[in-house]
Chain A
Amino acid sequence: MSLVRRNMLQRGFSLGALTLLTGCDISDNDVVQSWLARVSRWNDRVEEAIFNPDKLAPTFPEAQAVRNFRYNAWYGANLAPDLDPADYRLLLSGKIANKTPWTVDQLHALPQETQITRHICVEGWSMIGKWTGAPLSVFLNRIGADTTARYVGFECADGYYEGIDMPTALHPQTLMAFKLADEILPRAHGFPFKLRIPTKLGFKNPKFVTTIYVTDKMPRGYWSDRGYNWFSGS
């Protein structure tokens, strides 16, 4: 190989490395960030448009369900809220006719279903779990929620907050999950209940829910406030 060619090769590679390096920096540029946020909002609209409210997430045989489901949060499992079922009340707010708070016993008395579905994390890992609980649509009807409103929002005992579009809230597989693998939902997994939404990524499945509200204003989300796509449908 001639020296000229070798130099050109080296220059070619360092140019590539430079592009990647500057790529690192441009991500933190405000203009780039706001542009990425704008595309993310466009993606929300695309996802909303392709969401089919009748399409069911695939279900799996019981043998594929994981017994020891992975714990995942930004804090350790030992710091998970420890809610006392005697004191717990689910608060209701927004476009709901009957805003009387609900106790754990009242929640458990709702008609329940079991689903074995795949939880998909935005990071790429996934896990099949067995969840049992009440369809959110049943609960929303029970409390006289205005299901013509656009969104349902959730506030959680650990400071987490999330929100979903109404079509997803009314999807038949969207559950208020009271059980995981036939056991009452363990503390780390969100006792007394977590939203189990197999048509959303994992972070759109809030745990330790303490408030449910119905609104026309797009609810904020803990991770979408940190740059993740809001709709995050699967």
Chain B
Amino acid sequence: MSQHGTGVQKHALPVRIAHWMMALSILIMIGSGWRIYNASPIFSFSFPVWMTLGGNVRESLAWHGDPGVATAIAWHLAGMWLLGASFLLFVLWGIFSGHFWRDFLPVTPRSFLRDFIAAALFRLEHTLGRYNAVQKVFYWGVLALITVMIVSGIAIWKPVQTYPLLALFGGFQTARLVHFLAMSGIVAFLCVHLALVALVPSTLIAMITGRFGREPTLHSVVPPRPAGDVP
């Protein structure tokens, strides 16, 4: 979103690469994380196995005496590198290209409240090439949640080697709880994010090709919509 008022929304290539790498890694982390959670649930519920990542439970039990937790952990400890790399790329690009300051700021509690109420009443006016305050808050929120996710994840992965970090979370089990709650927040974000993409599919095209709006080739794929940009 660097060109205001031209009618062409642009996502820079590094943003798109980081976005899709993050999308893939978050899918891996959530799927495998749910399988790991099931091995020792914090609450009185488990995730349906079909929603988790880690292979066929019955086969794994028969072969290894392990319900696919080994594979889930292998996914999780592989996915963490992808998540870390893509998040770093996204944040560094956001800071140094000016993307964060230009598109995610300014945002005030008053503007958030105003846009939130307007959005709830379906009266939010969209300006192409500009994020509304609700979107800005959501993006900062999910960036903060991923940060909490990574830091609490490191504390859980290496509780001794990074020790003071674990104390910051109040101990091992509370670090697990924080990790779980941050995941819940990210899942909630994804629900809204995907619902809005489904409502305005041209944003999906924009995140793939980098642009949408008055591009003739895109008109044939997706008709331009008055609603501009969504999370």
A binding-site residues for B, Cβ under 8 Å:
5, 8-9, 11-13, 16, 19-21, 23-25, 27-28, 33, 35-37, 39-40, 43, 47, 50-52, 55-58, 74, 118, 120-126, 198-199, 223, 226-229, 233-234
- Asked whether any CB of chain A lies closer than 8 Å to the CB of B119, the reply is no
- Which residues on the B side are within 8 Å of A47 (C-beta)? 158
Of the candidates B66, B74, B199, the one whose C-beta lies within 8 Å of that of A40 is B74
- Asked whether any CB of chain A lies closer than 8 Å to the CB of B144, the reply is no
Interface of B is mostly: helix
Contacts A36-B71, A227-B74, A233-B158; A58 near B163 (Cβ below 8 A): yes
Contacts A37-B74, A40-B74; A12 near B161 (Cβ below 8 A): no
B binding-site residues for A, Cβ under 8 Å:
27-28, 31, 36-37, 39-40, 42, 49-56, 59, 64-66, 68-71, 73-75, 77-78, 81, 158-161, 163, 166-167, 172-173, 176, 194-195, 197-199, 201
- Which residues on the A side are within 8 Å of B167 (C-beta)? 58
Min CB distance A113 to B, Å, is 18
Bound CA span A55–B163, Å: 9
Bound CA span A43–B173, Å: 23
Question: Is A229 a contact partner of B73 (Cβ separation < 8 A)?
Answer: yes
Min CB distance B23 to A, Å, is 10
Interface centre among B55, B166, B194, B195 (most CB of A within 10 A): B55
Interface centre among A9, A20, A118, A229 (most CB of B within 10 A): A20
Task: Provide 18 A-B residue pairs closer than 8 Å at the C-beta atoms, listed in order of the A residue.
Answer: A5-B198, A20-B50, A20-B53, A21-B50, A24-B55, A27-B75, A36-B71, A36-B78, A39-B78, A39-B81, A50-B158, A51-B161, A57-B163, A58-B166, A118-B172, A122-B69, A126-B172, A226-B65
Of the candidates A9, A118, A233, the one whose C-beta lies within 8 Å of that of B161 is A233
Question: Is A227 a contact partner of B71 (Cβ separation < 8 A)?
Answer: yes
Question: Is A50 a contact partner of B161 (Cβ separation < 8 A)?
Answer: yes
Of the candidates B27, B69, B160, the one whose C-beta lies within 8 Å of that of A234 is B160
Question: Is B53 a contact partner of A126 (Cβ separation < 8 A)?
Answer: no
Given contacts A9-B199, A227-B73, A233-B161, 13 further A-B contacts (CB under 8 A): A12-B198, A20-B31, A20-B50, A24-B54, A25-B55, A28-B55, A58-B166, A58-B167, A118-B159, A226-B64, A227-B64, A228-B70, A234-B160
Bound CA span A85–B177, Å: 43
Min CB distance B179 to A, Å, is 10
Question: Is A198 a contact partner of B198 (Cβ separation < 8 A)?
Answer: no
